[in-house]
Amino acid sequence: MSFKSKIRTIQWIDNISRMVDQTKIPYEYVTIDISTGDEMYNAIKTMIVRGAPAIGIAGAHGVVLYAQELQKLNLPRNEFITKLIEKSKYIRTSRPTAVNLMWAVDRQIELITNSCSDTCGIVEELKQNAIKMENNDIAINKKIGDYGAEVVPEGATILTHCNAGALATAGYGTALGVVRSAFAKDNTIQVFSDETRPRQQGSRLTTFELKMDGIPVTMITDGMCSYFMKKSMIDMVVVGADRIAANGDTANKIGTYTVAIAAKYHNIPFYIAAPLSTIDRTINTGDKIPIEERSCDEVTYINGKPVCAEGINVINPAFDITPHELITGIITETGILKPDYKTSIKNAFDGIRV
Ligand code: MRU
């Protein structure tokens, strides 16, 4: 049973990409129109749009924007295609960890390479492909949500980390998609949201979108999760993913690994919720997943004010890898994958239902 969410994070409208500006939440809930490929590159890099599936769609929109710009130059078809593929490869590098970005841009590159249309036709086909990706993303999230809701105990308190919600996708969400579908069946469930330092996606975004949709949420700081697990106040953990290796090792927002260890120690189920497009079968284990290093200012400043002594050393990896042994199940649009993940992931891609 799906829940009606009010949030639509990113959408192609006429000739532009309209997205919620996530850097402004919770102070303002406003959209921004992106009308060039370079603007899209910056929107992804500066996290105006963020979350693995959402940046995938943003990447697909970015390719359409570059195609529109190049079409105005009236280039010969071959030159148009070469330049467009170059630009597409550039947008693919705007963030390194979430594989959905590469997945979505590669779908667009495939279309460009295989199309028999003239330049005008290619632009239109890219646009339709991007719109299809948006709609598919929401449909996939609802399936993930419905499969996940089946393993949510009655009246459960679900802990989540970062934001894998409507704001991290075209709409509905992956981890928060599970929450939404579970809430539609049982309105006694509630969410505990980790603050998620340093960019505070948990406190800024997860609490905001759950409040907007009327789902009860309690914010805790990152270091509190084991305290509440020990007190039997958490029944399960559900988080999203930026990239899943072929053996189930999962990259997600920094701090996820700590939550997974704490959950294992306290015997609490720990689920990943993600579409199959987040699984990178070219990577066998998590240690091969590229981890984005972000500016130290994200750690040393909060709201433009320094929070530590000037000049100290800081390291700021944006993601960590949760080893597959700590994961109870991976909730996908085809069902819940269980260990051993090498086999269940392969089966899912071979169309063998779980
Ligand atoms: O740096 P961000 O905000 O893009 O990181 C987002 C996350 O880590 C999410 O949990 C992940 O992308 C899953 S989104 C459905």
Q: How far is the CA of 77 from the centre of ligand 1 (A)?
A: 37
What is the pLDDT confidence band of residue 353, given thresholds at 50, 70 and 90? low
- What stretches of 62-216 adopt beta strand conformation (E)? 157-160, 190-194
What is the pLDDT confidence band of residue 4, given thresholds at 50, 70 and 90? confident
**Percent of the chain surpassing pLDDT 90:** 96
What is the pLDDT confidence band of residue 354, given thresholds at 50, 70 and 90? low
What is the pLDDT confidence band of residue 5, given thresholds at 50, 70 and 90? confident
Q: Is the CB of 166 under 6 A from ligand 1?
A: no
pLDDT at 288 exceeding the cut of 70? yes
pLDDT digits (tens, 9 = 90+) for 109-128: 999 999 999 999 999 999 99
pLDDT digits (tens, 9 = 90+) for 94-108: 999 999 999 999 999
Instruction: Give the pLDDT mean for 238-246.
Output: 98
Name the phi and psi angles at 70, rounded to 5: -70, -35
**Which position has the token pair 């070219």?**
282
Q: What is the mean pLDDT of the chain?
A: 97
d(CA 7, CA 9): 6
* Joined tokens for residue 84: 């467009």
Judge contact between 240 and 51, C-beta under 8 A: yes
pLDDT at 317 exceeding the cut of 80? yes
The pLDDT of residue 6 is 79
Supply the pTM of this predicted model.
0.96
For a ligand 1 pocket test, name from 100, 201, 208 the mutation site with the most ligand atoms within 8 angstroms of its C-beta: 201
> CA 273, 277, 280, 281: dihedral to nearest 10 degrees?
110
Among residues 82, 86, 92, 91, which one has the least CA distance to residue 119?
82
pLDDT at 3 exceeding the cut of 80? no
- What stretches of the chain adopt beta strand conformation (E)? 10-13, 16-20, 31-34, 157-160, 190-194, 217-220, 236-239, 243-245, 250-253, 270-273, 279-280, 301-302, 305-306, 319-322, 329-332, 335-337
The pLDDT of residue 1 is 60
**Atom 8 in ligand 1: residue holding the nearest Cα:** 253
H helix and E strand count, the chain: 12, 16
Q: Is the CB of 174 under 6 A from ligand 1?
A: yes
d(CA 233, CA 223): 15
**DSSP-assigned beta bridge partners for residue 330:** 272, 337
